[in-house]
C-alpha cells in the first residue's frame, strides 16, 4: 500500500507544480498552465488510476472526461480527484487491493517464465505459466461467486482448471474465444507436466506466455 500512497503523493505534487505555472493573458481573456506539465499530469494520473481501479471506475471516467485542457480549472479538478484517491488509500478503502497484490505476484511468475524461455527452458516455463493461469482462474471464480471446490462426494476437492474455465465462460466472465484459448493453454501445461516435451515447441510456449499475460490483463480480479 505504501507504494500507492507514494505514487499518488507524487501526482498531487505534480498537480501543484502545474498549477504554479498559471499564466494569464495580458488582455484578461483567459489563463493557462504549462502544457508539458499538464499532459504529463493527465497521462500519468490516468495510467495510475487505471492500474488501481480499472477503466470502468468513476474516478477514471471522471478524470478522463474533465481533465482535458492545459488550464487552471482542469488542473484543480485533477488535484481534487487525486486527493480523493489518496484519502481512500490512507483509510484502507481500496477495494481492489487484493486483486492488485495478486496481479503483482502473477507478474513476478510470468517474468520468471519469460526468463526461462530466454534461457531455452521451455518445459519449466510452460508449467509456471500454466500454474499462474490456473490460480488466476480460481481467483476469477471467487470474484464471480463460482465455488472453487467440488463437494459432490461429500468431501471438498479443488475443482480442476478445465471445469473452472467452462463455468467461468458459462457465467459470461469472459467470451468463447477466451474459453478456447484457455483450453489450449491448459493442454500445453498438462503436456509439460506429464513429460510430453516433444509435443510442443518453445515458440508455442512463448505464444502461450503472451496470450496468458493478455488474458490476465483483460480479465482482472
User: Mind listing the pLDDT tens digit for each residue in 132-176?
Assistant: 898 899 889 988 889 888 777 667 778 889 999 999 999 999 999
What mean pLDDT, rounded, does the chain reach? 86
The per-residue pLDDT for range 73-85, each reduced to its tens digit, is 999 999 999 998 8
Full-model pTM: 0.53
Point out which residues pair with 24 in neighbouring strands: 31
Separation between Cα atoms, residue 52 and residue 60, nearest integer Å: 10
- Return the domain boundaries, the chain: 2-90, 97-218
Q: What percentage of the chain carries pLDDT values higher than 90?
A: 48
Residue with more model confidence, 93 or 108:
108
CA angle at residue 215 from 211 to 109, to 5 degrees?
75
The per-residue pLDDT for range 11-28, each reduced to its tens digit, is 999 999 999 999 987 776
pLDDT-wise least confident of 34-43, 109-118, 145-154, 193-202: 145-154
Instruction: Output the pLDDT for position 38.
Output: 96
Residue with more model confidence, 56 or 164:
164
Angle, nearest 10°, between helix axes 58-66 and 35-53? 160
Q: Region 31-39: what's the mean pLDDT?
A: 95
**Which CATH number is associated with domain 97-218?**
1.20.120
In order of 105, 109, 129, the CA distances from 163 in angstroms are: 24, 23, 18
Amino acid at each position: 500500500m505504501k507504494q500507492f500512497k507514494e505514487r499518488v503523493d507524487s501526482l498531487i505534487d505534480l498537480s501543484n507544480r502545474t498549477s504554479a505555472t498559471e499564466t494569464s493573458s495580458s488582455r484578461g481573456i483567459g489563463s493557462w498552465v504549462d502544457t508539458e506539465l499538464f499532459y504529463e499530469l493527465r497521462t500519468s494520473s490516468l495510467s495510475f488510476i487505471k492500474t488501481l481501479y480499472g477503466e470502468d471506475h468513476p474516478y477514471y471516467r471522471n478524470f478522463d472526461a474533465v481533465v482535458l485542457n492545459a488550464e487552471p480549472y482542469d488542473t484543480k479538478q485533477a488535484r481534487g480527484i487525486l486527493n480523493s484517491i489518496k484519502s481512500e488509500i490512507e483509510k484502507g478503502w481500496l477495494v481492489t487491493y487484493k486483486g492488485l497484490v495478486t496481479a503483482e505476484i502473477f507478474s513476478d511468475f510470468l517474468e520468471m517464465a519469460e526468463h526461462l524461455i530466454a534461457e531455452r527452458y521451455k518445459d519449466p516455463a510452460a508449467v509456471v505459466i500454466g500454474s499462474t493461469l490456473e490460480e488466476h482462474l480460481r481467483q476469477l471464480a471467487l470474484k464471480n461467486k463460482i465455488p472453487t471446490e467440488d463437494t459432490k462426494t461429500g468431501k471438498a476437492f479443488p475443482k480442476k482448471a478445465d471445469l473452472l474455465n467452462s463455468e467461468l465462460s458459462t457465467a459470461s466472465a469472459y467470451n468463447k474465444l477466451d474459453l478456447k484459448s484457455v483450453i489450449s493453454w491448459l493442454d500445453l501445461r498438462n503436456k509439460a507436466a506429464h513429460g510430453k516435451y516433444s509435443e510442443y515447441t518453445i515458440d508455442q510456449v512463448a505464444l502461450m506466455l503472451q496470450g496468458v499475460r493478455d488474458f490476465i490483463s483483460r480479465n482482472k480480479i
